[in-house]
Structure 1
Amino acid sequence: MRGRRKEEMESETALCSRLGLGVVVADSVQTGKPTHSSAMGSSPSQPQLQDQNVKRGGTITFTWRADCEATATWSKNGQLLSGKEDRRVTIRHDNLNKYLTITDAREEDEGRYTLELQNGSGKASGSANVKLLEYDSDWRNLDWKTSELKKKLGSFTLSNPQINHLRFLLHGPVGHGKSSIINSFNSVFQGRVTEKAQSASYSGNSFTLEYQTYQVKDTQGRTLPFVFNDSMGLETLQGAGVLTDDIIAAIQGHVKDGYKFKRSPLRKGDKDYNRNPILSDQVHCLVSVIRGDRFPLLEDDDNILEKMRTVRRAASDLGIPQVVIMTYVDLCCPLVNKDLRHIYSSKAIHRTMQRSSKKLGVPMNHIFPVKNYHQETKVDNKTDCVILEALEKITHLANDYVENKTHHVKVSPLKIAGYIGCAIFGLVCIIIVFGLVAELFEYSLYFVIMLLFVCFLFRYLGF
């Protein structure tokens, strides 16, 4: 019987093969039940699609080679794609190869794309995200010509005749590029990479230890109408780094050039304390310097952020404008690192600016992303452009501040007495000259000598 059954099975198998049907195979001896495999073969494996970061105007391409025959459908965020909704979208299937291509990438193309494969034996799907690194248009316009900007800043006319320069104070965390950006400003006008302010690579302690003023000169040696003051960096620990009291004193013009920062704040009566600052000694724009590529770390440092906010509040009380210079932005975004002309379309840079605006309270139009000269040995036109644009805006803000600013000196009563004494002395001299009281000449001479002594005493004591 067993031999006869075997012959019947072989006959059925041959017939099924000629008809293209599933093949009857022998089950185990224990069950003796036949099974039929599907004509479609095995079910498809899950597609493995890769996430894509695409620049504006680029091409989005997904390709997958299936391991068996299967129908394919593409969708975006759950919505079926047919390839007919936009001429930029192309869907193509070539045997086992499945293609989705989107040209001229835009913001609207961001999303989650899914490929689903299905046949009679089952189905499988895989997904990947597409992110656009840029906005569809630049969020800030920039004229990429340096010569005109250099000319405008080099011949800039100050609005207040009381001063001969605008003063910008740079402050911020240790290692965020304060000295580097001063060097970058100077490099632009010198036409070569310079290092007037000593800078160092990132470390836990400040490299700048003195309060120092830096002038900027052009290639002809002419001094430009603005100066930069570098300060010690802010640190997380209380009492470490520059003290906020010293920065506030510098803003008010009380800190003399060359002052070495200490662990205790500068006090009245100290030799480096300027008791009677004039308008030129005071700061006309406060510049906070932060690294764009390290802002996520700064964002979580509440101590430093609070110190920066304290300084900003003091500047606001004095009506002094404040800006933020965001350095090292070429390390924030791969597109900008490759081509600086993407700086004002980059989403990464724009979002970092938004976060810093929220944390520091500075409006977006007062935040300037720049690439400072930190590894280059030669100047570059595009780098110069973003640096000059920031400097132009800072200069106009400072100039607006000093335009109607009149220097008011707080005069003490003793100083007033000194002025009165000088006036009396002048009057007595006039009387003597005209001989109106010649008979009292001897007494007048004594009186004049006494007044001279009093006036000298007042001036010597600094009243």
Structure 2
Amino acid sequence: LTLLFLSFITLIKFSVHIEPWRIMISNSEDDRKFLNEYKPGPEDQKLRILLYGPTGAGKSSFINSVQTVLRGRPYSQALVDHTEGDSFTKEYITHHIEKDDDSFYPFILNDMMGLSKLKGVLVEDVELALKGHVKEGYKFNPETPLTEDNQFYIARPTPNDKVQILVCVIPADKISIMDSEVLEKIKNIRLKASALHIPQVTILTKIDDLPLEMHAKINVYAIKGVKEKMKAAQANMGFPLNCMFPVKNYHEEINMNREVDALILSAMRHIIQYGDDFIKFSQNRSEPKIDSL
């Protein structure tokens, strides 16, 4: 028994840093206030957040978790399937988040079919969604991309149809075994978004499915194993560490959890800030230049 206890202590020692490797300056209430008070610069502008990633990564669960945190109660508008297999989400779905005063937050989250080796969403369709050409309710075809003659094709997208920030949702427990074709699709999508100057953020889900030492009730940014998974995502897919945020989705809890809320609120604040920077960037590019006399 003594030997087992010493082995456990050794495991924790090598899995946890004494000092956190990332400091969260803001707190949950600051982040919540920021999200509640946020307004895009242009009038009637909505900040569109597009989520993509491998099948089963937790895109829909993350959307539900954001809704849960902002509403203050468990919420499950985005349908979720916890069985292994093809993508449960088949359509292009927009999620609006309602406030207590019956108004809506000025940012929206788009869910879509996941990436997989054979039956997942096509890179071409993700690019069309980024440009605002995909209409709500379009059912993705894993064999052929959306065409201009389709009723769900938006020929002349408005700024509100276009995506302002792209979020890749990656399961922490599957990074090392992710299919090479899926990795290649993620890299291609990143290139498409970069060509459009759209900012990109990575959400690292399922950190609670990592080995036992990850369940220690300490700052997640003091856990060595979480940082190692983030570095693996950086090496395999090119995501910068400062744009990567580990979260735990609400999926089994029936009550609110402060630690879960804090990570989700922090991630959402950064997502909104990056997206808002892009709105301002796009606005400045579209404004006519006045020649100096």
Alignment TM-score > 0.5, same fold:
yes
State the 1:385 CA deviation. 0.5
Aligned pair partner of 1:199 in 80, 87, 94: 80
2:147 corresponds in structure 1 to 267
1:250 corresponds in structure 2 to 129
Aligned pair partner of 1:285 in 149, 165, 174: 165
- SS of the equivalent of 1:293 reads helix
Partners in 2 of 1:308 and 1:290 — Cα distance? 10
| Residue ranges of structure 1 left out of the alignment (5+ in a row) | 1-48, 55-59, 61-128, 409-463
1:343 corresponds in structure 2 to 220
Contact 2:176-2:232 at 8 Å conserved across structures: no
2:268 corresponds in structure 1 to 391
Determine if the alignment matches structure 1 residue 150 to structure 2 residue 105: no
Higher strand share: 1
State the 1:362 CA deviation. 1.1
Divergent runs of 4+, >4 A: none
State the 1:221 CA deviation. 2.9
1:364 corresponds in structure 2 to 241
Q: Tell me whether 311-320 or 143-152 shows the greater mean CA deviation.
A: 143-152
Question: Which letter does structure 1 place at the counterpart of 2:277?
Answer: D
State the 1:403 CA deviation. 0.5
Determine if the alignment matches structure 1 residue 136 to structure 2 residue 15: no
- RMSD of aligned Cα (Å): 2.0
Partners in 2 of 1:192 and 1:253 — Cα distance? 32
Higher helix share: 2
1:184 corresponds in structure 2 to 65
Question: Which letter does structure 2 place at the counterpart of 1:184?
Answer: S
| Residue ranges of structure 2 left out of the alignment (5+ in a row) | 287-293
State the 1:154 CA deviation. 0.7
Q: How many residues align?
A: 282
Partners in 1 of 2:136 and 2:114 — Cα distance? 17
Determine if the alignment matches structure 1 residue 169 to structure 2 residue 50: yes
CA deviation vs aligned residue, 1:374-419 (integer Å, no higher than 9, x gap): 11112211110100000000100010011031386xxxxxxxxxxx
Contact 1:144-1:382 at 8 Å conserved across structures: no
Question: Which letter does structure 2 place at the counterpart of 1:287?
Answer: V
Contact 2:51-2:166 at 8 Å conserved across structures: yes
Aligned pair partner of 2:201 in 323, 345, 354: 323
Question: Which letter does structure 1 place at the counterpart of 2:239?
Answer: V
- SS of the equivalent of 2:97 reads strand
Partners in 2 of 1:221 and 1:143 — Cα distance? 31
TM-score of the superposition, structure 2-length normalised?
Answer: 0.90
Determine if the alignment matches structure 1 residue 216 to structure 2 residue 94: no
Shift of the 163–334 alpha-carbon distance from structure 1 to 2, 3 Å rule, reads: farther
CA deviation vs aligned residue, 1:253-286 (integer Å, no higher than 9, x gap): 0001111111310011211111111211111111
Contact 1:53-1:132 at 8 Å conserved across structures: no
Question: Which letter does structure 2 place at the counterpart of 1:255?
Answer: V
- SS of the equivalent of 1:287 reads strand
TM-score of the superposition, structure 1-length normalised?
Answer: 0.58
Partners in 1 of 2:195 and 2:173 — Cα distance? 31
- SS of the equivalent of 1:294 reads helix
Determine if the alignment matches structure 1 residue 373 to structure 2 residue 250: yes
Partners in 1 of 2:230 and 2:271 — Cα distance? 17
2:289 corresponds in structure 1 to none
Determine if the alignment matches structure 1 residue 310 to structure 2 residue 208: no
Q: Which has the higher contact order (CA 8 A, sep 6+)?
A: 2
Partners in 1 of 2:257 and 2:26 — Cα distance? 11
Contact 2:214-2:225 at 8 Å conserved across structures: no
